[in-house]
Chain A
Amino acid sequence: MRGWWRLGKWTVLIMFLHIIAILIFTKGFLLTRTELAHSSRCSDLSQSPCLSSSSSCWTKPAVDRLIIVVLDALRFDFVAPSSFFEKKQPWMDRLKVLQRVALKNPSSAKIFKAIADPPTTSLQRLKGLTTGALPTFIDVGNSFGAPAIVEDNFINQLIQNGKRVMMMGDDTWMQLFPNHFNKSYPYPSFNVKDLDTVDNGCIEHLVPSLYEQDWDVLIAHFLGVDHAGHIYGVDSVPMIEKLEQYNIILEKVIEVLQNQSGPGELHENTLLLVMGDHGQTLNGDHGGGSAEEVETSIFAMSFRDLPPMPSDFDSSSCEAARNICISSIQQLDFAVTVSSLLGVPFPFGSIGRVNPELYALAVGTWNLEKYKTGNGQDKKTLEEWMQNYINVLCVNSWQVKRYIDVYSALSVIGFSSEDLFHISDLYAKAEENWSYTKNLLLYKNESFDTSLPDLKRQIDGYFNFLSYVAELARSKWTDFNLKMMGTGIGIMLLSLYVHFLAIKKVNKSYGVSLPSSRDSGISFGLIFASFIVVIRACSLLSNSFILGEGKVANFLMATTGIMSLRSSFMKKKMLLEATIFLLLTFILRIAIEVGLSKQAATSQFMSVSSSWMRGISISQPVWTYMAEIVPILALMILGYFLYKAISSCCWGIPKYVIMGTILSYLLIALHWATESNILDLAHLLKGIGKSCIPRTIYAIGLGQLSLLAFGQLFSKEDTSNYKGSLFVKMISILSACSSTIILLLGKQGALVALGSMVAGYCIMRLEGIERHTFNGAVGISSLDPLPVVQWSLLAVCLFFATGHWCAFDGLRYGAAFIGFDEFILVRQAILLTIDTFGFSHILSVFGLPLFVAWPSFFNQTEHRRSLFSIKLFQIFMMYGLITATTVTATILCVAIQRRHLMVWGLFAPKFVFDVLGLILTDLLIFLASIYYFSGEEDCMQCDRGTEIEEPFG
């Protein structure tokens, strides 16, 4: 093993560095939160120390009906009067009706500045608004890709408690709440250029619905402002038109509601909320955490005259000239406040606090009678209000504490113990008061004046507790930790340096083997290869290039192919290989475009691509037959090649392994044949079932791998023909892996396998051009990185050409269930990983020895064996370096773009895929180095006299 360790330690060191860097970066960047499936129930309240009344659930309902009008991307300055800002801009003061109402009835209508939490994208915000939590990019939960909310939320509570919810507008709600609404009028939201469909749909249904009795909560989500911002920006005519359109419709809504707000009428006890889900920048972007993006607005209006709220809790900033006040509210508080107003249990995972001002706007309603008796009763009402509010806060705090406790108990990555201790401490303090205050409330034997300070102290205690929890949660779930991200990037760069050093070092320590003809080491090939890698790395800065990554890789691969063609013209040989390689790039490119069109169907960022594919109708019988037969043919060809390989140069274990693969191929062909409709074999094999053949193939694959490992440990290999044995080793491991991968990838798998084999052959042959001309005598040239770059680009292309893309909906979940029907996480995850990374990583890494081991060079002069292994090692290192460079670029770009609109939709998934791919590549290189180098021990020693101790470690 010592021989292996000489080279292998580098792979271990680099893998270690990568893992550390990625862990640190991820901890700073990918904030994770565990979703809990618990939900609150009415009966839970008995566990709390708070007062409960038999008639109501958690809190006494204050409003009967609720209308939520969501105006997507509503900036704060769309709503607030322009006098609040330094300069009046054209888009301000367009929603005049809201300002007018707020000015006229300050006690029943109010404009709030609502602060959203990043990520400020509609989906995450709606999730946050309804659950009262802070959604992160990775909400670890059962929903494996589907966006439907599994956490307890406000809508869910409404349904549980028999409220009827009606929804109209943005269909994101339907994704989040697939079967919650009694009645819904969803409209497609993905077409950003369409400013009107959603809005017109809302307008069509909103006003007529106000006369209906068949709902308790009505949600109308308008999208026009968001889209107008994305397309035209805030300072534009379409935006102002949209705002004016909203003004008219809101005016209408308020008028209808006011007309029906008399006693006993339909909207006697209705609350109207007009709110934004997030803001937007002047360019119409949102997603990040800048003030413009997080500041949105809530306008609340109830249709009753209410007592003014106690000034102690007034957070509003007033504008003297026009006598209009604007308060501030956290969006986090929305779910719990609205729940308390409607009298439903608070969502289990909510960490918000019942906002006193919003609460006050509506809560006056139930003691309205007392209020009317005269002004002398003001104090009485205030006291009443405070008592109610204290009890609501008590329930609120108890619920938050319960959530924190359950979360810390269940989540792997919970809060630190100090934080938990502090939380408990604050809660205990608040509770200490409570037992006293409770008596106060129950027996009411003291006058109000004496009890007021107690009540206030109680409220302060709860506020302290709740705000501490919210702050803690924010720091854990919404803030990027820039220090950690920076450290991660630093370590990543260091690992690149180490990688580079490893290549240099090995180069130097075996310097004898390297020809001095190109001693500087800087050849055209090297420059060109670095250029390709760098330009690919830079392309990751743009979201468009990430979306079209397959195309970019293909473009670069075609460029290298053209360069190869040129050099083969120059040398006047291997023209055929170069042409075939270019042809393959073309075919791959078509496959990538098919994959992209699939992606466009689901992605919110892509428009549907070119339409040439629609011309080919797959339904034609010729195509069906082709689609059935061609893959099986390809499989047969692969099998034939393997058969030829064993008949010429194999013995012992490899022979059995390859024979096993051929058997697997036959089984796969049989499997496909049973699935197809052409041959009516389906019922013939019914008894055995569909799952039997795949399972056999998995078993054969495992058997082959263990056989190889066994052979690795115990068999003495033939040292005379190292190249030959390396080739046999490579063929056997590739064939052992291939059958499972082909099976998982389905029919395209066989074609892709054949294609990548041919491409590998071409790359290898084309590399040979250089080798022959420059170093005909030496046999091993100084390494030309271009073929390795080509090989890694080919791997990237294969990833995309096999219908994958870097998003969670790009995973082919179907592959995880080939041969199995029931879901077992580990097993299915392994299958999914093999499917996703099979060609692009597993086969690519194990296939790397191709460049040194092809048997056509057998007849060259005999070389010292160590030279081959050094070259092989360098190839591995170089491949690793290329992958690591790309991933480092991804990490850097993600860090740079962390406030980008698409950071969660696009950059973060790309980051996750790349990082997983990198670790997998490292691991595979490690395994491959063990596999290919473990027989080294003696020869490494005998070839080189002295050993070179590495300087670090």
Chain B
Amino acid sequence: MNEKEKNSLSRISSSQVFLTHLCCGLALAVGFWVAHNVYSINLISDPTNTLRLIWAIECPVVILLFSCFRKKPEKCSYLKAVARGLVGLPAGALVNVLGALALGSPVGLQYFEKTIIWSLLMSLFTFVPATSVYGSSWTDWHRIFACTKPKGSLDFMLCLPAHGAVIGAWFGAWPMPLDWERPWQDWPICVSYGAMAGYGVGMVGSFGLAVMRGGQKQIKAE
């Protein structure tokens, strides 16, 4: 790791982490609120449109926020970071779709739209922040997602919520085959709930770690 990287990592303070996560979380909440109060739909009654709405609100927030933390800001303009975030969106969605299909999400035309919109949302949770920050830097991706050895608050900020969302979605799939005949058991409702819950837990964890690390650093500095 060279000096510059260290510099870029150390730029992130715990309050920045908190604000970023808060904005992401709030965007989700606003999405739900708008869906409920303005369009009077919710995830259960109209999953496609609700997810689309949440996605539409979450998407700019995530891309614009994480583009601020782009690596090597001197070499990479803000707009470029936003652009690569936008490119990363469908790519991440594709990975999520493939994963979901391998794990057994329903195949079929009537599910096509839901799957696409769900995977776009998942892409926001998992890959888009990382593309905005690191672009296509293989080593960074490798470090965060394959080896799970994040270094610094920024890595944790990318890694924990993403893993949280995936693991949450994995657990969220478990009630699907049960015979309770509840509307929320349909694809992709409970999986989305699981993913959001996991995402939330991941964000809290990442913030907690950032605070801890900040505290340690301060002690060291003193």
Contact = CB atoms under 8 A, between A and B. Distances in A.
B99 A562 contact: yes
B146 A566 contact: yes
Contact of B107 (A542, A544, A582, A612): A612
A569 interface: yes
A589 interface: yes
B102 A585 contact: yes
A543 B146 contact: no
B222 interface: no
B178 interface: yes
A615 B110 CA distance: 12
B109 A544 contact: no
Given A545-B177, A547-B177, A612-B109, A569 B142 contact: yes
Interface in A567-586: 567, 569-570, 572, 582, 585-586
Q: Is the interface of B mostly helix, strand, loop or mixed?
A: helix
Given A543-B179, A551-B177, A558 B108 contact: no
A559 B170 contact: yes
Interface in B141-162: 142, 145-147
B219 interface: no
Interface string B165-182: 000001001000111000
Given A544-B179, A612-B107, A570 B146 contact: yes
Nearest to B99: A562
A554 interface: yes
Contacts of B177: 544-545, 547-548, 551-552
B125 to A, nearest CB: 16
Contacts of B146: 566-567, 569-570
A437 B110 CA distance: 78
A620 interface: no
A582 B146 CA distance: 17
Interface residues of A, number: 29
Contacts of A611: 108, 110
Residue among B99, B103, B179 facing the most chain A CB atoms (10 A cut-off):
B103
B101 interface: yes
Contacts of B99: 562
Contacts of A548: 177
Contacts of B101: 586
Contacts of B145: 566, 569
Contacts of A559: 103, 170
Contacts of B108: 610-612, 615
A544 B103 contact: no
Secondary structure dominating the interface of A: helix
Interface string A610-640: 1110010000000000000000000000000
Contact of B102 (A561, A567, A612, A615): A561
Contacts of A610: 106-108
A610 B34 CA distance: 32
Contacts of A547: 177, 179
A542 B147 CA distance: 36
Contact of B104 (A542, A545, A570, A589): A589
A579 B101 CA distance: 13
Given A561-B102, A562-B99, A586-B102, 17 more contacts: A543-B179, A544-B177, A551-B104, A555-B103, A555-B104, A555-B173, A558-B104, A566-B145, A567-B146, A569-B145, A570-B142, A570-B147, A582-B98, A590-B107, A610-B107, A612-B107, A612-B108
21 contacts: A543-B179, A544-B177, A544-B178, A548-B177, A551-B104, A551-B177, A552-B177, A554-B104, A555-B173, A559-B170, A562-B103, A566-B146, A572-B142, A582-B98, A582-B102, A586-B101, A589-B104, A590-B107, A610-B107, A612-B109, A615-B108
Interface of A: 542-545, 547-548, 551-552, 554-555, 558-559, 561-562, 566-567, 569-570, 572, 582, 585-586, 589-590, 605, 610-612, 615
